[in-house]
Amino acid sequence: MANTVWRAERARCPFYRKSYDVSVTCSVNEEETIRYRFATEARCDEHFRRHCAVRYMSCPIYKLIERIIGI
């Protein structure tokens, strides 16, 4: 398993919770989570760098959670 500690340190999205080498887990609360799985670690890293660490409001997961909770 790859070291993903750097992701937790750089995450800016309020819904980001944790990640593994090929997945990112997001949630509004502890009871309901969404895990976004990728085919490769490179694609997961790309998603994280583009959305979780910088422009999280453009992330499809962020938009979904936003719609669900009605922000």
pLDDT (tens place) for every residue of the chain, 71 residues total: 566 788 989 999 999 999 999 999 999 888 889 999 999 999 999 999 999 999 999 999 999 999 988 86
- Model's pTM, two decimal places? 0.85
pLDDT at position 5 is 84
- How many angstroms separate the CA atoms of 51 and 10, rounded? 11
Cα distance from N-terminal residue to C-terminal residue, the chain: 35
Tracing tokens 């990640």 back to the chain, one arrives at 19
pLDDT at position 3 is 62
Both tokens of 71, joined, read: 């922000």
Q: What letter does residue 64 receive in the DSSP assignment? A: H
